[in-house]
Structure 1
């Protein structure tokens, strides 16, 4: 009995510590802590619902949180910028909920410390930070409803970070900007990936960006998409005057 009591007390203390840390981030005490626990379960745990057999991890909550975040941001922009057309509002929302920004938020809150996983945290890609931030939003919605979810998004995303005039000039994709300039000026461009011989523990991809047959920039990252973006950013700054004058 003493052994069982010790296990129960240990678990309760662990939950109390989790709730106390979480409260500092979300600003209130959770009603159903299970929602929040699930928001930090990585699929590598391979946990399943005993009754339904469905997997238990943060991915469904991430989907829900992404939808709630987009809805709140869309509503905010709709009211804040009454003259913005659909294209403008969509572009502004994309800047606010960009993967880069969400990853930054997840990192700033240190959410990675809550993640349960059978994979070493050093092996995770950058997107894990944004993914669990969205999952947390999904958990808040299920636990407290739309108004609490909206309040959290305003407190943690909109109020401290959203400045519409500044966002108008923010570049979210150097690749898109570079390609648009090339197409507009009828220039040939090509992204060529080549073998990466680095000794990093994580697999890396490298790319050479060619403009009219000449290499103008290179990029290297843990994914092809990131490598392309790095090369595009370097190309943008190399041709910034020509690009911005068009």
Structure 2
């Protein structure tokens, strides 16, 4: 009997700790804590409900993405009355970029609460942003739009949405570099070359050529990341030239 009581007490304590942690993160009391439990459940657990439907954060992630876009769009619409559609869309993209969402998730240390059968260190960087979006979706399902707006205002808009800084923020150096090359009819090429590194994870080595001259090199765990890093290095190498010709 004592052992059963100990198990019950440990579960109750664990549930109470999770409730308090969620309350601390979102800034108000959750009504239905089970929604947040699902928001931190990775599909590797293979959990299903009585209808056989998967119980993980992926659907909530989709919902959270939509809520973030909605709240940020409304904020920018009010904050920048003179901004046209293109400007507002670009500014919203900077706020909800994958890089920024990953930063938000890391700042809140959300990965600590993820239930998964996969070792945390094996996840890519996007897990942080994915769980952040899922948390936003959970708040909407649990407390509705007003509380969702309150959370995004506190955790995203107030600390991070500075219009002047956002205007100068670069989302993708690769896109910036390509746009500059196309505008000024310059030949460029991203190419993968042999990687002699001894990393446990496979890496891609990419070099970026401008008019047949290498202007940036980078290595990363994906070709896309390596190209972005190579473009970033090329941008800073040619920044005065690119910024001057982009005006």
Instruction: Give the structure-1-normalised TM-score.
Output: 0.96
* Structure 1 residues 178-217: Cα deviation after superposition (integer angstroms, max 9, x where no partner): 0011111111111111343322233222211111222211
Q: 2 CA distance for matches of 1:45 and 1:202? A: 24
Residue 5 of structure 2 corresponds to residue 5 of structure 1: yes
Q: 1 CA distance for matches of 2:197 and 2:53? A: 40
Deviates more, 1:140-149 or 1:180-189: 180-189
* Structure 1 residues 210-232: Cα deviation after superposition (integer angstroms, max 9, x where no partner): 11222211111122221111000
Q: How many residue pairs end up in the alignment? A: 245
SS at match of 1:82: coil
> 1:16-95 alignment to 2 at 5 Å?
16-49=16-49, 51-95=50-94
SS at match of 2:149: helix
SS at match of 2:28: coil
* Structure 1 residues 123-152: Cα deviation after superposition (integer angstroms, max 9, x where no partner): 111110010001000000000000000000
Q: 2 CA distance for matches of 1:179 and 1:36? A: 41
Computed over aligned residues only, the root mean square deviation of the Cα atoms, in angstroms, reads: 1.2
Gaps of 5+ in 2: none
Residue 211 of structure 2 corresponds to residue 212 of structure 1: yes
Q: 2 CA distance for matches of 1:42 and 1:150? A: 25
Structure 1 stretches of 4+ moved >4 Å: none
Q: 2 CA distance for matches of 1:181 and 1:154? A: 35
SS at match of 1:196: coil
Deviates more, 1:187-196 or 1:162-171: 187-196
Instruction: Give the structure-2-normalised TM-score.
Output: 0.96
Q: 1 CA distance for matches of 2:177 and 2:142? A: 43
Match of 2:147 in 1: 148
Deviates more, 1:107-116 or 1:8-17: 8-17
Q: 1 CA distance for matches of 2:201 and 2:18? A: 31
Q: 2 CA distance for matches of 1:198 and 1:122? A: 20
